[in-house]
Amino acid sequence: MSDFLLNGHIEGLADSDDLGDLHIATASDTPMKPRAAVMSDAEKIERISDHFAEIMDILGLDLRDDSLRGTPRRVAKMYVNEIFRGLNPANKPDITTFENKYQYRRLVVERNIPLQSTCEHHFQPILGVAHVAYIPNGRVVGLSKLNRIVEFYARRPQVQERLTMQIAEELKRVLKTDDVAVYIDARHLCVQARGVEHHGASTITAEYAGKFLSDTTKHEFLQAVYSKMPE
Ligand SMILES: [Zn+2]
């Protein structure tokens, strides 16, 4: 388990608003309703569109205006097809692994994977990079598949700690090894645009498992992440 996740009662925090503002998660699974995948994407878009129009209307915007008329449907399609597409299990990438024929047993690092997610407490963007690594056991994977795993879990309302855990768990499952590492460095626009409005701040989360719990392997990973690319 990650050091970053707290289970059960959190001292001093009375209600869910406090939890939300402090960005604390209580489980590594995205909280979903049972049978959440039953509604079709088309129906989700239709219903979100209606509700978003209502929000805009309440805010006092004139939806008859040419510039605003298409916004509710545009937002609904963006939610369902793009920024929250990772909520639909049907969009989970099908990852093919290959036998590790060349018996490569050292570090594989995929770094600077662009990360675009959404803070589930404020529905504001989380923007940054993810670095992931594994040590092949019996199986290896096409490198771009690592990016796809990051992408799938990022495309949900998230807290960065849970996102980190979910990517690590999926890497373990797909690669059939515990020897995985995930490191995320990201800016939360909810921190920059509201609340404390701290512009330079970024948040780092990491999960190390298996051999990455040893200092030597962890340092080799972090050194690889921060080494300079050849020109
Ligand atoms: Zn937030």
Contact of 76 with 48, CB cutoff 8 Å: yes
pLDDT of residue 156: 97
Distance CA 22, CA 202 (A): 15
Q: How far, in Å, is the centroid of ligand 1 from the Cα of 79? A: 17
Contact of 212 with 171, CB cutoff 8 Å: no
Closest CA to 105 of 132, 131, 137, 133: 137
Q: Where are the domains of the chain?
A: 32-83, 97-226
pLDDT of residue 212: 98
**If you search the block for the tokens 């929000």, which residue do you land on?**
55
231 residues of the chain, pLDDT tens digit each? 333 333 333 444 445 555 566 555 445 889 988 888 789 999 999 999 999 999 999 999 999 999 999 999 999 999 999 999 999 999 999 988 888 888 888 999 999 999 999 999 999 999 999 999 999 988 888 889 999 999 999 999 999 999 999 999 999 999 999 999 999 999 999 888 777 777 888 999 999 999 999 999 999 999 999 988 777
Q: How far, in Å, is the centroid of ligand 1 from the Cα of 206? A: 19
Enzyme catalytic residues: 119-122, 160, 188, 190
pLDDT of residue 162: 96
Q: What angle do the packed helices 160-175 and 143-154 form, to 10 degrees? A: 140
pLDDT of residue 200: 81
97-226: CATH number: 3.30.1130.10
The DSSP element (H or E) to which 48 belongs, if any, is: helix 41-58
CATH number for 32-83: choose from 1.10.286.10, 3.40.50.2300, 3.30.1330.10, 1.10.760.10.
1.10.286.10
SS3 content of the chain, % helix, strand, coil (to 5): 45, 20, 35
DSSP string, 70-107: THHHHHHHIIIIIITGGGSGGGS----EEE-TT---S-
Closest CA to 187 of 206, 160, 208, 166: 160
Query: What global pTM score does this model have?
Result: 0.86
pLDDT of residue 15: 53
**If you search the block for the tokens 């590790």, which residue do you land on?**
100
Q: How far, in Å, is the centroid of ligand 1 from the Cα of 141? A: 33
Q: How far, in Å, is the centroid of ligand 1 from the Cα of 188? A: 7
